[in-house]
Structure 1
């Protein structure tokens, strides 16, 4: 599996950098960022990221910035980090002076070419963590997103004002606290994309389990779109589904393969189940009584107790509801127990999808500060 990277700035991020003194060339200037050790240790121990340090040290090795004022302090910083189990796989330092348009100086990517176009690394799901807007620009240039540790609000407002339009989408998080970075990274693991392409269907899914209920659904089957929107809205997750299937034949492949792709997306998003509730259940709708029990325990199984008297609801065959949930269960590796009673067929299936969404929302709820794995087996 391709490795995600945290490209981390040193000064102002790991070390507290108090203006107007930016050149950290003496021990008396060394103060570590508040709570950095606590949360960097959690990140290093609990999360699956490679750590890479990227730092501009203008003029290092010249009369402007002699090496003997840099390395003793830097070595102490690295040993202090390693003493807390925080190990960097590489340290990239640009020392260009003067630095105008230097290809190796942040935000340029000249120091980091080994990570680009390299199938061993998942750059799209990596992050740059830094205190300057140039760190956010570096993230954009690399093709990932930036976490802005904005510890000087006045400087940040001035710096970003002219670049907001170009960089706002690149800023994944703006904060002044390492605790928020840790929480974001732990929760941020649950935002994924998944594609499934066959001779019969072409499907792309974008899922953010910790979203707000946004839906962007297009499968070519109106009622199916409406049901998938229920998952996003009532599950409080962001979900985009784009399905192009062989509807000129029938609806079977489109619905079944969408269930598989959605299940695969959940399996990927919930790969790390530490701190997660795991189980969920729910809900009635008018005269319909729907019950959906779910367990993201790593084993697929479907119990289906729902009977429909109509052949279709909208343009969606009722026999395909079972196939959708069976496909999801198989791909997501979850147990599903679905039961529904009622008189109105539309109400019954909508109640099932809403209950399904609520059950997922309960099961995926997670405490970002908990490392508890909900299993006596020690693995899920």
Structure 2
């Protein structure tokens, strides 16, 4: 079955001006990295390219045809010169107030693809910059790639989404974890331990990983099972989301925070190991026993099959452990970065 990239034009391939009309060459600017990534996707994938664009009032006094087509054709000719041709170009001319079934986010223009058994709609994507493009993708039933970072969008279209979910249930804990390694740092953390939530949020926020963690643990006993099992579920989820690891940086490191100097070096090489050189002068930070921090990282390392080397020094205990979690986040961000132009396993052994 064939897959499709439904690609928006204004704001996605070319910059959109304040008046939202590209009706002169003076307004024409290509979005950075748009052309190079479209070229890559055309050369290295078998997606069909379908441009879908709303052009408000095209053909009316407010937007005459003779101001639209010269610029539009120049865009197409420029892309064609780089090897990028569209299999179909669909333009809706209605104003928003017309509520036309063919105007995005409505799907009238693309129904011929949605109802065609030759196409894998679920495996297709809309590439766009607006919330209406996101809604368009939802209405179609395909994925959505937000433009803001063309490199990230192309990496997902080429190598697939890097998301995973893990459900872990024992007599002691009930845990749900979901990650998106190519996210924006959105977090939904609920473990019953406020300070632990705060630390886990650092991983998502500073690692640019969308992270959901819902943990119900036997806190009436103590904090041990909640923290340990959350680490195991998170590590398993990270490993699952990484997939075959092709194209990743593999290694990462980072970070100072206020009076503390924290170093977290990691390797997704498949061999779990923890070096822990962090000491605390307090038994608790917030509602978390300091003895559990090493146990958290050991469990995380084991489940994610990663080598972790963690060192921290400083006076403020809160800053010290928060710096460790932030350093882990930055190291993760670095290590999971994917390079589709060098899409190989980062190993001389040929296996990770």
Q: Is the 8 A contact 1:301 1:335 kept in 2?
A: yes
Of 143, 164, 177, the residue aligned with 1:205 is 177
1:217-273 residue CA offsets vs partner (Å, 9 max, x unmatched) = 000100000000000111111111111111111110110000000000111111222
Task: Structure 2: give runs of 5+ residues left out of the alignment.
Answer: 8-38, 48-108
Do residues 233 (structure 1) and 202 (structure 2) align?
Answer: no
* Contact 1:135-1:146 at 8 Å conserved across structures: no
How far did 1:8 drift? Answer: 2.5
Q: Does 1:132 align with 2:110?
A: yes
Equivalent residue number for residue 257 of structure 1: 229
Aligned to 1:49: none
Instruction: Supply the distance in 1 between the matched residues of 2:234 and 2:254 (Cα, whole angstroms).
Output: 20
1:5-154 alignment, distance < 5 Å: 7-8=1-2, 38-40=43-45, 132-133=110-111, 135=113, 144=122, 146-148=124-126
2:344 is aligned with 1:377 = no
Alpha-carbon separation, structure 2, partners of 1:173 and 1:136 = 18
Unaligned runs of 5+ in 1: 1-6, 14-33, 44-130, 151-159
Q: How far apart are 1:330 and its partner, in Å?
A: 0.1
Name the structure 2 match of 1:317: 289
Q: Secondary structure, in 3 states, of the residue corresponding to 2:326?
A: helix
CA distance in 1, matches of 2:112, 2:299: 45
Quote the RMSD (CA, aligned, Å): 3.5
For residue 368 of structure 1, report the CA deviation from its aligned partner: 2.0
Contact in 2 for aligned 1:147/1:181 (Cα 8 Å): no
Q: How many residues align?
A: 253
Provide closer, same or farther for how the CA distance between residues 253 and 36 of structure 1 changes in structure 2, counting only shifts above 3 A: closer
Change (3 A) 1:252 1:148: same
The 1:144/1:167 distance shift into structure 2, 3 A limit, reads: same
Distance 1:133 1:195, change over 3 A: farther
What is the match of residue 354 of structure 1?
A: 326
8 Å contact from structure 1 (residues 146, 173) kept in 2: no
1:199-218 CA-to-partner distances (Å, cap 9, x unmatched) read: 11111111011111111100
Residue pair 1:136, 1:147 contacting (<8 A) in 2 also: no
The answer on 1:184 being equivalent to 2:156 is yes
1:143-182 to 2 correspondences below 5 Å: 144=122, 146-148=124-126, 164=136, 167=139, 170-173=142-145
Report the TM-score, using the length of structure 1 for normalisation: 0.59
TM-score under structure 2 length normalisation: 0.63
What's the secondary structure of 1:189's corresponding residue?
coil
Q: How does 1:263-282 map to 2 (within 5 A)?
A: 263-282=235-254
1:300–1:335 CA contact under 8 A, matched in 2: yes
Asked whether the equivalents of residues 121 and 141 of structure 2 are also in contact (C-alpha less than 8 Å), the reply is no
- 266-275 or 183-192, which moves further after superposition? 183-192
Residue aligning to 1:293 = 265
Task: Tell me how far apart the structure 2 counterparts of residues 214 and 299 of structure 1 sit (CA, whole Å).
Answer: 29
Matched, 1:337 2:309: yes
Residue 327 (structure 1) aligns with = 299
Structure 2 vs 1, CA of residues 260 and 280 (structure 1 numbering), >3 Å: closer, same or farther? same
Report the CA distance between 1:344 and its aligned residue. 0.9
